[in-house]
Structures are given as C-alpha cells and as structure tokens.
Amino acid sequence: MTKKFYIYIFFIFIFFYHGFAEADHKIIAVQSVRIKPYEKTIEGFKSVTGSDVKRIVISELNDTNIIKTINSFRPDIVLAIGMGALQVVKEIKDIPVVYMMVFNPASIIFGKKNIFGVSMSIPPEKQLNLFLKVLPHVKNIGLLYDPDRTGYIVKDAMIAAGKMNINLIAKEIQNSRDVPSELLGMRKKIDVFWMLPDLTLITPATIKFLLLFSLENKIPVLAFSDKYVELGALMSINIDAFDIGSQAGEIVNAIVSGSDLKNIKKVDARKSLISINANIARKLEININNNIIKEARIIK
C-alpha cells in the first residue's frame, strides 16, 4: 500500500476518534429562562469546547422534576446558567456541575466539592480602577449595602479602597425605606455613589430617588448594569456574557481532559465592559477622556 493511503487512513482514524471522544462527554445545560445574556454564555461555551449541549429551560417546563430529567440523560457534566438553575442542581453529588452567570455562588455551593464555575462578580479592586480611569479625581465614594446580601463585596472593596487611597463611605441598610435618609446624609461627603447589586437597595422607588438625587446634587452614580445607565446612572461596569461562557468552557475542557477536580478553581469574570451615558455626563458637567469613549459603549 502507498504512503498516501496510510496517511489517509490515519486522518480518518483521527476524525472518528475525535468524534467518539466528543460523544463520550454528554453535557446538559439548565437555565431558568431564555434571555440574551444566557444565550451569549452558551455561544461562548461552544466556541471553546466545540461541544453540543442539550438544554433544559426551567420556565418552559410545567411541574417537571428537573433532577429526574437530568438523570434520564445520564450526562457527564451539568451546566447551570443563572442563580435559579444553580439552586435547582446544587444537590447533584455524583456529576461535575459548572455554573455561569451567578452572583455570589459561594452562598449557594458552600461545601460542595463537585461544583465549579464562573461568577458574575468583577473584583472590587478592578471596578475601582475602572471608575478612576473614567473619573480620575474621585476621592470619596459612597455606597449602601445589606450585610446579608453584599457584605462580602464591601469587605473586599474596603481593602481595595485602602490600597488606592480612596475614602469608601459604606453604610449598612436593612430596609429599602432607609435609602433616602442615608443618601441625604452622604450628600456633602461623597463625590460619587457606587450602586451594588443588592436587592435590599434596588427597588423602583429607591432607583428613582437615587437618580434624582444624582442630578440634583451632581453626584454621579456608578452602576453594575446597562439598564441603570439607560435610566440615568453615569456609567456601569458589566460582565461579558460571551467571555463568561468561554471561561466555563475552559473549566469543562479541564474536567474532561482528566484534571484532578481538586485543582479546578472557581473564578470571577475576567473581562469587563464600560458603558457611559453621554447625556448624563453633560448634565453633570463631566468630561470623559476620548480614549475612554473609544473603549466604552456610549448611551445617549
């Protein structure tokens, strides 16, 4: 037989071996709803793994036992997309679970040794650096928080602020009704207000008050989502859903390649996106550096 024939046979073998290897790893994704960010994470995941993914969308099922449905597929890996999905699958013990798009996953998976993934958190130090990139003269930053919800963020933020010579004025709240009085008490002490993803703080009434407070006192609001920039915050630092999916794909690749699960790390989002409301910047008489404008998503 000719040399070309053997080369041909070799590549045919590699092709089928690769196909069987992929088929050996069945992946099922559980997500609460179909929303664009979740779809982006799946795209990012597939871009890294090349894997086909069977999906369960909880909102589209009626009184279905999700765990029983998952087990019927006999998957090798379960993806949990969003906090609701992670809450559902966290009791799985004998299959690796990889989560995406979850704030503070540690509060859900404490003690679980088969669950890994990528949180939606951008480390406070990184956020503060980005804030100062846009607003370099800021020295005093105010924030409100419920210790039971976002105390873990504030703890890291205080350490980061201390390293950066920033005065972080953090006030605890237990009820959204406390927001107006606490904000007014900060009025003459802060240059900007940092809004955390804290459900005690965030209600339609408090957001309305906060954004009006911002305009009346020329105190910019630094948010965590484009949604609030569109409503009137000056800027937000967001996660990149596609890249979070890519990070999760890298974790899955490590698992299926045989890495010791003890060496698989739980990580934060590595990529961040800046959005700026140009109209609010004008109203607050803030000049944004042209280099920042080129990098950011500008909302008008």
Q: Which residue has the higher pLDDT, 263 or 22?
A: 263
pLDDT of 24 strictly over 70: no
Map out the domains of the chain with their CATH numbers: 3-120+241-272 (3.40.50.2300), 124-239+273-299 (3.40.50.2300)
pLDDT of 16 strictly over 70: no
Q: Supply the mean pLDDT for the chain.
A: 89
Residue where the block lists tokens 């890294």: 48
pLDDT of 12 strictly over 50: no
What's the pTM value of the predicted model, to 2 decimals? 0.80
Confirm if 173 and 195 have CB atoms less than 8 A apart: no
Contacts of 296 (CB under 8 A, 6+ apart): 235, 273, 274, 275, 276, 288
Give percent of the chain above pLDDT 70. 92
- The length of the chain, given as a count of residues: 300
pLDDT of 283 strictly over 50: yes
Per residue in 225-248, pLDDT (tens digit) is 999 999 999 999 999 999 999 999
Read off φ and ψ for residue 145, nearest 5 degrees.
-155, 150
pLDDT band at 4 (very low <50, low <70, confident <90, very high): low
pLDDT of 6 strictly over 80: no
Helix/strand/coil (H, E, C) string of 164-184? CCCEEEEEECCCHHHHHHHHH
Dist. CA 41–CA 274, nearest whole Å: 19
Rounded mean pLDDT of 38-64?
A: 90
Dist. CA 261–CA 54, nearest whole Å: 23
Rounded mean pLDDT of 219-223?
A: 97
Instruction: Write the Ramachandran bin of 284: left for phi over 0, alpha for psi from -120 to 50, otherwise beta.
Output: alpha
How many degrees, rounded to 5, is the angle at CA 56 between CA 242 and CA 257?
60
Q: Is 57 helix (H, G, I), strand (E, B) or coil?
A: strand
